[in-house]
Structure 1
Amino acid sequence: MLLDTHLHLVNRDRLTYPWLDSLPALNRDWRYDDYAITAARLGVIGALHMEVDVTPDQIEAESGMVADLMAQPGSLIRGAISSARPEAPGFAAWLDRQDRGVVKGIRRVLHVVEDAVSQTPLFRENIARLGRASLPFDICMAQRQLPLAAALADACPQTTFVLDHCGVPDMAGDFTAWATQIAELARRPNMNAKISGLIAYGGPGWSLGSLRPYVESVIGAFGWDRVVWGSDSPVCTLEASLAEWIAATHALLAGCSEDERAALGHRNARRIWGLRD
């Protein structure tokens, strides 16, 4: 069983996604109903919607879309990891008005802004505020920025962090350099890691053999109690189908115990985001 902690849905009738204009392969609607058919057939038992970088004025409307999906009978959607602007003075007021039945975590994509953003006192104060609110923060940074992720985790020790996409490795680059940074991040007890995104970064020639060192390094560094799984759908479709990524995941975990597979597949996610079935 898999609980998908990284599902992107695109509904252009309700929301605006400016960044999709530069990525024609993804620039269409990606609807829940289509995802749910495949997910249910392949053993996905629930999903968290991951924000899709809508325009800032539509962040709360995106959470409203997720709430509507959650209300559907038999819905797989368990909540939203919402976009936010922790660097903004109004963040505290924004956080106070969020529906905690819907918003289970927060993400601010940090590889699209200046590196200094995540290191400012206001940003750190607001990320620390998430810890007091028991809301995890997904870190989405490029590999070169991983030392900044470590600095942020150190500055906010009471906040739970989830490192997206195995730390966005440069899979054509220096594996040892990436693995060293992952091991350093894993020393922070408040940092978790998400097994996701590797298909897209692996390029058209990806294989189980090319993915395995990254998956095994992340699990080896963080341990089975601090890793979760995500589809990164539809971004994964740049190089493979959702079904292929799920099949690859099961193949990569084939030698693991039932308890280990359950921890990564769904148990840790339920604990980190406070999910109930």
Structure 2
Amino acid sequence: MKIDAHQHYWHPARGDYHWMPQDDPVLCRPYGPADLAPMLARHGIGGTIAVQAAATVAETEYLLGLADATDSIRGVVGWIDFEDPGALAHLSRLAAHPEFLGVRPMIQDIPDVDWMLRDDVQWAYPALIELDLSFDALGFPQHLQNFLTLARRYPDLRIVLDHCMKPQISDQRAGKDAFGAWADGMSRLADETSACVKLSGLVTEAGDGWGTQDLRPFADHVLRAFGPGRVMWGSDWPVCQLQAGYDLWHDTAQALVAHLPAPDRAEIFGGTAARFYRLTP
């Protein structure tokens, strides 16, 4: 099955998407399964992973409700409050839902770069391991070393790095070196941990006027470092629409992996996600 390993549904009127600009014509509107269905059909995508976009348990429950009513949603990555050990009750309850796959704290929005290593949040990682849930790592290149520390500390934690850890491609295009330190950090995660990575989010970080050639060095490095068996494609729809529609990003990603054998491409566009998230046929 061809899988989109990272997409979002939301309804701004719910009131908990605090990061969302209230006047953004692309983001600040409802997006639901009916909006995405034609694109999934057009590209032969049989299932998606719906990922949280609000730091509330209520939004996770909203996504699970959509999953109950939508065949194309193969699983939900939700949210719990890592700063509250009492949230273990929520985590255990959510884990009983067959479409609940794991959690994603919104680390990119937390000012403290060392938040993930704080003593008061450490309870959550063994709990995820015990419940056989996954951890979506959302951050920037400045978080790479801490994610490496986390993966070494909890080697049994199933970690996937969202959006290639958001390399600052627009800076690279402007003549700054945004590749070197990012590439070194990603290589260490590939070599020293079992983490997977999502081939997603690159167009958003590339800025206006991007081209496939701007993305290729970053995609090539991820593919070489992790190998197709640890890389999964995601649309990051509807966020991707800030720079590219679903169709354009899908076709661009296909072009970025076109040099690989068909079995490797099948891993990136489905097999890796199915294994990592423990999806059933």
Is the TM value for this pair above 0.5?
A: yes
Does 1:78 pair with 2:78? no
* Structure 1 residue 30, shift from structure 2 partner: 1.2
* 1:172-228 Cα deviation digits (max 9, x unpaired): 142122111110111233311110000101111211111111111011111121111
* Structure 1 residue 67, shift from structure 2 partner: 3.0
State the percentage of identical aligned residues: 31
Distance (Å, rounded) in 2 between the aligned partners of 1:202 and 1:29: 25
| Greater alpha carbon shift after TM alignment, 62-71 vs 115-124 | 62-71
Gaps of at least 5 residues in structure 2 are: none
Aligned pair partner of 2:260 in 246, 252, 256 = 256
Indicate the residue corresponding to 2:86 in structure 1: 90
One-letter amino acid matched to 1:16: D
Name the TM-score, length of structure 2 as normaliser: 0.91
Indicate the residue corresponding to 2:51 in structure 1: 50
Kindly tell me the number of residue pairs found equivalent between the two proteins.
272
Distance (Å, rounded) in 2 between the aligned partners of 1:68 and 1:94: 16
* Structure 1 residue 96, shift from structure 2 partner: 1.2
| Greater alpha carbon shift after TM alignment, 63-72 vs 111-120 | 63-72
CA contact (8 A) 1:169 1:178 kept: yes
Name the TM-score, length of structure 1 as normaliser: 0.92
Does 1:196 pair with 2:200? yes
Per the alignment, in what secondary structure is the counterpart of residue 114 of structure 2?
Answer: helix
- 1:161-180 alignment runs, 5 A limit: 161-171=159-169, 172=171, 173-174=176-177, 175-180=179-184
- 1:206-217 alignment runs, 5 A limit: 206-217=210-221
- 1:1-277 alignment runs, 5 A limit: 2-14=2-14, 16-21=16-21, 24=24, 25-54=26-55, 56=56, 59=57, 61-72=58-69, 75-98=71-94, 99-113=96-110, 114-171=112-169, 172=171, 173-174=176-177, 175-277=179-281
One-letter amino acid matched to 1:10: W
Distance (Å, rounded) in 1 between the aligned partners of 2:231 and 2:23: 29
One-letter amino acid matched to 1:35: L
Distance (Å, rounded) in 1 between the aligned partners of 2:108 and 2:126: 20
One-letter amino acid matched to 2:109: V
Gaps of at least 5 residues in structure 1 are: none
Distance (Å, rounded) in 1 between the aligned partners of 2:217 and 2:181: 13
Per the alignment, in what secondary structure is the counterpart of residue 275 of structure 1?
Answer: coil
Distance (Å, rounded) in 2 between the aligned partners of 1:210 and 1:2: 26
Per the alignment, in what secondary structure is the counterpart of residue 108 of structure 2?
Answer: coil
Per the alignment, in what secondary structure is the counterpart of residue 129 of structure 1?
Answer: helix
Distance (Å, rounded) in 1 between the aligned partners of 2:99 and 2:6: 15
| Greater alpha carbon shift after TM alignment, 164-173 vs 231-240 | 164-173
Distance (Å, rounded) in 1 between the aligned partners of 2:15 and 2:37: 20
Distance (Å, rounded) in 2 between the aligned partners of 1:208 and 1:93: 45
CA contact (8 A) 1:132 1:158 kept: no
One-letter amino acid matched to 2:76: A
CA contact (8 A) 2:151 2:193 kept: no
Per the alignment, in what secondary structure is the counterpart of residue 104 of structure 2?
Answer: strand
CA contact (8 A) 1:87 1:117 kept: no
* 1:21-58 Cα deviation digits (max 9, x unpaired): 3561311111210111111111211101100115x3xx
Q: CA RMSD in A?
A: 1.7
